[in-house]
Structure 1
C-alpha cells in the first residue's frame, strides 16, 4: 500500500498545479472495500488551500501482479484510460448534439488525470461521495427505484454505443476489434471454475444438485468467451455492471441518480450480457418474481429512447425481435454469472480473498461462504429450473 500511495502523490502534485492549487496540503486516505474490489488500491484525497474550495478526489492505483495481468482477458488499466480520455468526451459531445435533457443523460465521474506507466497505472477522478453518492450495500437486494435507474443508465450507455457505430462505422469497428474478451485456457482458470462449482453444489438444494452439476459441466473458458461475445447487435458494453461498480444518490423527491464507475472491463459484446449480469448479481428471488420481465422491458424502452434522440429508428438498428432473441440466448449466462460472482458479492469482509504478489486467478475463489450466498444462489437455481434453463 505504501508503494501505491507514493505513486499516487506524484500524480496528485501534477493535478493540484493544473487546478491552480499552489500552497496546498494533501490528505490521502486508503479505502478498504471489504471484498468489493481486487484489481486496484483505492484512496480518497482532499487537496486544501487557504481561500480556495477543497478539491475532493478519488484515486485508483494498479495492484495486479504480473501473473494476474497475463490471465486477464484484456488490459484493465488501458481500457479505463480509454474510457475517460476518449469515450467520455465522445459520448458527452453526442449527448450535447442530440440535445438530450440533463435528467436523461449518461453521466460519467469527472476525470482529473492518470499515470499510464505499466505496473504504475493510476487514475484520479472526482470523489462522488463528496456530492452525496454512495455505493450500494452488496449484502442487500436492490429495489425498483434503484434498479430501474441503473438499468436506464445501462441502456443509455449501450444506445450511445449503437449511435456512434452508425455514425462512425470504421472507427467503431476498430474499437470492437481492439477491445475483445479474450481468455486463454490455463490450469489456474480450470482450478477457479472447479472451486466455484464445488461451492455451488455444496449449498444447492438436493433436488437441484443433479441439474446444476450437469449445467456446470459447461462452465469453461470457451463458454465464458461465448457469453461475452456480440450476438446480433455488437456494442461496447460495460462488462462488470453490478451495484458495487455503480454510485447512487437518493434525492428528496424519491428519485435516484446513478453514475457507472469502474470502467476497466469495457469491451465488444452484447448489451443483454450486461443486463443479465446486473440482474443476477444484485437481485434476489423475490425481486425477480415481481420485476424481472418489467426490468427487461424497461431496458429496451430506454435504449429505444436514446436511439430516437440520435435520430435512429430502433426497428432498423436494434429491433425488439433481435433484442428478444438475445435475451433468450443469454438467460443461461445469468445463471453462470451468478455462480461465478455471488461468492464474491456475498462474502464477509474477513473472508474476502486478498490478492498478493504471485497469486493467479484461482486465488479469487472464495473459501468460506455464508447463509446469504446459499439463499441467493438457490433463488437463482430455482428460477433457472422454473424457466427450464437447467
Structure 2
C-alpha cells in the first residue's frame, strides 16, 4: 500500500474531529512502542486535541485506514473485510456495550471506543481508542503465546461468545439483522478466501513431498469447502465469532505499568482487535484456531485440557451473569463435540496464517510483512514452518480431532 499523504490524513482527522464536536482542533502523529503484524490497511496513532464548550479535550486515537489504491481492491477481499469491520464497530459492538452495562466486573469484555467510521469505497477508515495508552500491548517478543497469555485470551474469547448468546436471547430480531451481515464463511459467501486457503494448502503440499503428511493435506485440500461448511451447519450451536482470533489480533494489559518489565509480568486482561472476519460459526472454531495458531506443541500437549476448561468455565459464568443457562444454549458436551467438527477448518486457517507470518507469502495483495531475501533465510523459514505444521497435525491426531481415515 502506498504511504498515506499528509492531505489525506488531515482530511480523515478533520472528519473525526467534527464528529467529536471539537473546535480549534489539531493533531500530532504518534508512534507505537510495539507493533504487531497488520495485513489489511494501515494503522496510524494520533493525539487529537481541541476545545469543546470552552474546555480543552484530548483523544488518543488509532486510525485504521483501508488501502486507497485500487490495485489492492482487485480481488474485493479488502473491501469486504473493511465493510465487515466498520459494521461490527458501529452496530454489533455498540449492542454489546449496552449489555455490558448490566454485567458485573468479572464478565466485562474489553471493547475499544469507536469514535468514527467511514465506509466510502477506497476511503474507508475507523477511528478507534488507542488501547496502548490504556496499557495494552501486542505480544511481540515470541512467536507463540505462553500459558498465562493463552489463558487470558481464552477468557476474553469466552466473554465475546457469551455476549452473542445474550444478545440473541434478549433481542432476537437485532441478532438476526446482524447475522445478515456477519454471514458464515463458505464457498458461496467468500469464494476468494476459499481460493486463498486452498492455495496455501497447495503450497504446504509442495513442502511435504511424499511424506506421511501428504495424504492428509490432499484430503483437506479436496474437501476444503466441506470443512468450513461443517463448522457452521454440523455443530451443536453457533454464535457471532471473531473469526480470526490469533496472537496478532490480541493486545494484553499487565500487572505492572513499566513497559520494560512486561516480558516478566503476567497479563491481567486481553483486548481482541481486528473484527474483519466476524461471522456466524461454532464457538469452538475460535477456541481451536487460537490454540492451534498461537501456541506451540509443547504447551498444547501439557495444558490442552486446562485451556478448554478455562474457556468453558468463563463461558458458563458470563452466561449466568447474563441470565442464561449454558446447558441450554451451548453445553459442555456440545463444545467438546464441536472441537472435533471444526478441527479441519481450523487447521486450514492456521496453515494460511502461519505461512503468512513465517514470511513465505511473497506474491498477491496480502503478503508477508517480513519477506526473506537470502536463500539461507528462506530455507530456515521453510523448515520452521514445516516443523510447526507437523506439530499441529501430530497434536490434532493425538488428541483425536483429525484422522486421515475419517476426513
Q: How many residues align?
A: 378
- Partner of 2:311 in structure 1? 299
2:261 is equivalent to residue 254 of structure 1: no
TM-score, with structure 2 as normaliser: 0.81
- Partner of 1:342 in structure 2? 354
Q: Does the CA contact (< 8 Å) of 2:186 and 2:228 recur in 1?
A: no
Tell me by how many angstroms 1:334 deviates: 2.8
2:75 is equivalent to residue 68 of structure 1: yes
Higher alpha-carbon deviation: 173-182 or 120-129: 173-182
- Partner of 1:232 in structure 2? 236
C-alpha distance 58-353 of structure 1, shift in aligned 2 (>3 A):
farther
- Partner of 1:56 in structure 2? 60
Give the alignment partner of residue 161 of structure 1, picking from 155, 161, 164.
164
Query: Counterparts of 1:194 and 1:80 in 2: how far apart (Å)?
Result: 24
C-alpha distance 176-22 of structure 1, shift in aligned 2 (>3 A):
closer
Tell me by how many angstroms 1:298 deviates: 1.4
- Partner of 2:262 in structure 1? none
RMSD: 3.3
Query: Unaligned 5+ residue runs, structure 2?
Result: 257-264, 373-377
Query: Counterparts of 2:323 and 2:191 in 1: how far apart (Å)?
Result: 49
Q: Does the CA contact (< 8 Å) of 1:162 and 1:235 recur in 2?
A: yes
C-alpha distance 177-212 of structure 1, shift in aligned 2 (>3 A):
same
Query: Counterparts of 2:201 and 2:34 in 1: how far apart (Å)?
Result: 25
Query: Counterparts of 1:19 and 1:188 in 2: how far apart (Å)?
Result: 37
Query: Counterparts of 1:42 and 1:192 in 2: how far apart (Å)?
Result: 24
Tell me by how many angstroms 1:127 deviates: 1.3
- Partner of 2:201 in structure 1? 197
Query: Counterparts of 1:259 and 1:105 in 2: how far apart (Å)?
Result: 11
- Partner of 1:13 in structure 2? 14
Could you say what secondary structure the match of 1:131 adopts? coil
Higher RCO structure (Cα 8 Å, ≥6 apart): 1
Higher alpha-carbon deviation: 309-318 or 76-85: 76-85
Could you say what secondary structure the match of 1:60 adopts? strand
TM-score, with structure 1 as normaliser: 0.84
- Partner of 2:393 in structure 1? 381
C-alpha distance 135-189 of structure 1, shift in aligned 2 (>3 A):
closer
Q: Does the CA contact (< 8 Å) of 1:31 and 1:42 recur in 2?
A: no
2:95 is equivalent to residue 90 of structure 1: yes
Tell me by how many angstroms 1:200 deviates: 2.3
Query: Counterparts of 1:188 and 1:269 in 2: how far apart (Å)?
Result: 19
Query: Counterparts of 1:54 and 1:185 in 2: how far apart (Å)?
Result: 41
Query: Counterparts of 2:335 and 2:224 in 1: how far apart (Å)?
Result: 26
**Equivalent residues in 2 for 1:169-318, closer than 5 Å:** 169-180=172-183, 181-184=185-188, 192-193=196-197, 195-204=199-208, 208-227=212-231, 231-252=235-256, 254-318=266-330
